[in-house]
Structure 1
Amino acid sequence: MFEQITQHFGQDGLEPTASDHRSLGLGGTTALWLGANVVVTTILTGMLLVPDLPFLQAMLIVLVGSGLGILPLVLVGLMGQRSGLTTMVLARGSYGIHGAKLPSLVNLLTLLAWSWIQALLAGMSLNYAVEATTGYSNLPLFTVLCETLVVLIALRGHLGIERVERWAAIGMLLLAAAVFYAMGRNFQFGELLSMPVQPRNEITPGIAFDIVIATAFSWIPLAADYNRNCRSQGVAAVGTWVGYVAATLLAMGLGATVSGFSVLTG
């Protein structure tokens, strides 16, 4: 019985991914990185940029910073696609088998914390929706339910993540379009483009560029883990670059827009 259950789990491990298990095409890779970076924290990062910077300057910094910052991530992803190994296994080449255990442990703890932060944010949203509809509120329960769903998807391995991420990317694009549409009906985008600079978060162009670069660098420990499932080097490089840059522009642009309109309306 146990074997029948576990056979549906993913076969992802530390061994190189077999060539016949590399299922990510260009569309799947783009959707994977798009869905991975259109998250609340990236939106909140975009909110720091405006009104400290003019909106168009902020978006230019996001475009250039993400376009350049993603290059080391793309290169690590190419190493993963070529070797079929995860990032932490690749680190053994620099630190040795035992030496690589420390960055692996740090990466594990970081991802555990990050996963629960995302689950908390999702639980807050779900709790708000349920409370507004039924009057019932239980934030710990909804946070645990969201994290449980993530674990179940992860147990399916990269095949489960690929399937879910494609629909998640489509859903997030539709939701972002709906938010922009709603703001367009209630506010004037021309006012956003011409609004005066107001120093609120002590963000300069240099600091903004560093933030965008750091956001891209934070994904490097997962680059090979995702892209070792890509069908080719070209798919890994183009899909990662396009998906990540588009996601960063969308998420930070949404955050900057919300922040700008919030300031304009007092």
Structure 2
Amino acid sequence: MTTEDTSSLAAESLSKSFGGVRAVDDATVRFVPGKINAIIGPNGSGKTTFLNCVTGMIRPDSGRVSLRGKEITRASPDRIVRLGLGRSFQACRIFPRMTVTENLLVPVRNRSVRTLLGKAHDDATVRRAQLWLQRLGIDHLHGVEARDLSFGQQKLLELGGVLMSEPEIVILDEPAGGVNPSLIRWISALIQELNAEGRTFVVVEHNMELVMTLSDHVVVFDRGRPIASGTPAEVQADPRVLEAYLGV
């Protein structure tokens, strides 16, 4: 079996409808392991619904999702996290009344609810949280409640929570959305560093400049299914992509 078969994330013939709307339509996607993959497409093209199916947030009507060659189609989101797939969301999922450090400790999913509520974490876990905060550049905010952070800082905090589970594959849903250009450059550099360390990334993003400069492999969605894939240069030159975005 090839490396891609055993180490990558893949979806085969994935479909999901809501009433009469077919949000994901027989979508087959294989992400390239060890690379920065991107998903782009016009608004309403099915990108987020596709991700929700892949990460166990919703159940697809049909099709199959696999991770390292093993099916995870009906696994719970927590189970998928434990298998090495982490994800951020368009709207930051943080605990606003918890401190920055506490927010990083909560996503460590191998703890029981009682342990989480009791804040009984071992020193190694707390130290790991501190190291991630340093790397994200927000360690000086460790004792600040998350609701008092800027939107960009909240994005970094959510990413820190994802990284605390030590995922092999990281899915980022619009990491540059609502973020200033300086922070976009910071996030882009961090993604590249983490990728160089061996993590595979899947980035869903509307910022085309970021996608084209950051990504190794791009998948273009339209009307619920991938219509093109390849390097940024290949995708930019594909007439199907121009038609999807410009209607020409």
Higher gyration radius (CA): 1
Which structure ranks higher in relative contact order (CA pairs < 8 Å, sequence separation ≥ 6)? Answer: 1
| TM-score under structure 1 length normalisation | 0.27
| TM-score under structure 2 length normalisation | 0.28
**As a proportion of its length, which structure holds more strand?**
2
